[in-house]
Amino acid sequence: MKAKLIIVTILVLVGMTTYAQRITQFEEPKNTEEITKVKVHVGGDFALQFQGLTHSADSSLISLGKGFNLPTANLSLTSYLATGVKVYLNTFLSSRHHNESWVEGGYIQMDALPFFGSETIDQLMKNLTFKIGFMEINYGDAHFRRTNNGKAVYNPFVGNLIMDAYTTTPSIEVMWRKNGIILMGGITGGALKPALGAYVASTKSYVTYNFVDELAFYGKVGYDKNIREDFRVRATLSAYFNSKNHGGTLFAGDRSGSRYYLVMNKPTKSSADYDITQNAFLQNWGPGSTDKNNTFMFNLYSKFKGLEVFGTYESASTTSPSETLTATKTKKSDYNFNQIAIEGLYYFGKKEQFFVGGRYNKVTDNSGGDNTFLNKNNSIKTDNKSVDRVQFTAGWYLTPNMVAKLEYVNQNYNNFNKWGNDAGFKGFMFEAAISF
């Protein structure tokens, strides 16, 4: 029945168009098209999944059926106010974690500054771009290829990376581009939910937060150029530094939730076991919220004819705001996470509208410390926690704005007390997505 349903869905989508061309994009190209009056573009994103996953652990887990997940959708508004000046606003209409509508973020982007009327500034702006707003920060390159709630056309797979560096926060970015060279620097508040203060129940006291004291600094240096018509190379190094924050969200900023629903949920004998808003991020793993964060990401992308390769190496050194200091423990523990991801894709067809590929992704907590658990032989063992995942995908860009993809995923949790030594999930996911 599941196979028939997937086939029928694909055939329906096939009937809507004949061929397509895939989308490959990182930073938006400069746009200095002359604007004589305000222009407004209304856009949208829609994604629908059929899930057929199983999960297992040394401890008990809830039973999982097979079927459609809650569709996810975005609504975006893009206004072109003047030559080189645009405003963008994105709203999540439906998501896994927040079923109700809410604003993800927005920003103003300036590729030109025509209101100054200065030839000198116009010359400088030929290579500069300014971005200001409550927005997705440009840290690393992996965020360009991730699924953002309903926007799944840029992701050839269904799931995002295990350690998902993505957040929206008050930020300012300045980017300089020339002859393939990319230089970018940014300042951000670092937290998804800015706050002026909080009440501390344990001490029955109040604490205040100062935005300036909690600022994070990030940047990117890279090279992106077509060596020849059919050969493109891009390499970037990104860094992010935040010395103090009440709850930094670089690794905890995705409010939409994981693309793999309900897997690894332990039974509580309540309706919450099948509430998709609960444990919405359990399928991801990393530092979570932080009050100190020093991290960097290296990305390498290349495309030769129909072959595409994208690699990620990331290292994060953080501390957690949830850790409590005492008279004997005056310094918070350091957490050190490493992530590697490598994906290879091959595009074929008249306009490279079909694709197949695979991705390997692993995250390791190198912090050491007390991670004691019982192994399969019921003997005590101490080792680093890690999560690894293998994904295989096949898909079809029916138009540049429509994609249908089938993914096989196998994710393993290693050395986790929560589930035991042997835990993970695997199976097939089908996803259809439209963006316009």
Which H or E run includes 294? strand 292-304
Note the pTM of the prediction, 2 decimals: 0.89
Q: Token match 């924050």: residue?
A: 245
Do 158 and 259 form a contact (C-beta atoms < 8 A)?
Answer: yes
CA gap 245, 263 in Å, rounded: 31
pLDDT at 23: 58
Write a three-state SS string for 124-151: HCCCEEEEEEEEECCCCCHHHHCCECCE
Backbone angles phi, psi at 344, to 5 degrees: -125, 135
pLDDT at 368: 62
Q: Token match 């994060």: residue?
A: 316
Q: What residues pair up with 52 in beta bridges, in sequence order?
A: 428
Do 374 and 380 form a contact (C-beta atoms < 8 A)?
Answer: yes
Neighbours of 160 (CB within 10 A): 23
pLDDT at 183: 98
Rounded to a whole number of angstroms, the CA Rg of the chain reads 23
pLDDT at 218: 98
407-418 confidence digits (pLDDT tens)? 999 999 998 888
Give CA separation, 273 vs 97, 268, 391, 412, in Å: 14, 6, 26, 21
Give me the CATH code for the 2-435 domain, please.
2.40.160.10
| Torsion-angle region of 274 (φ positive above 0: left; ψ -120 to 50: alpha; else: beta) | alpha
Which H or E run includes 10? helix 2-14
Q: Where are the domains of the chain?
A: 2-435
pLDDT at 377: 43
Output the six-digit token pair for 400: 């540049």
Q: What is the DSSP string of 234-286?
A: EEEEEEEEES--SSB-TTS---S--SS-STTPPP-SSGGGG-TTTTTTTT--S
Do 139 and 165 form a contact (C-beta atoms < 8 A)?
Answer: yes
250-266 confidence digits (pLDDT tens)? 999 998 999 999 999 99
Q: Any idea what DSSP says for residue 115?
A: G
Give CA separation, 286 vs 149, 282, 324, 360, in Å: 20, 10, 19, 17
CA nearest to 20, candidates 293, 337, 398: 398
CA gap 369, 357 in Å, rounded: 37
96-129 confidence digits (pLDDT tens)? 988 788 899 999 999 999 989 899 999 999 999 9
Ranges under pLDDT 70 in the chain: 1-24, 327, 330, 368-383
**What angle is formed at CA 249 by the lines to CA 245 and CA 252, rounded to 5 degrees?**
145
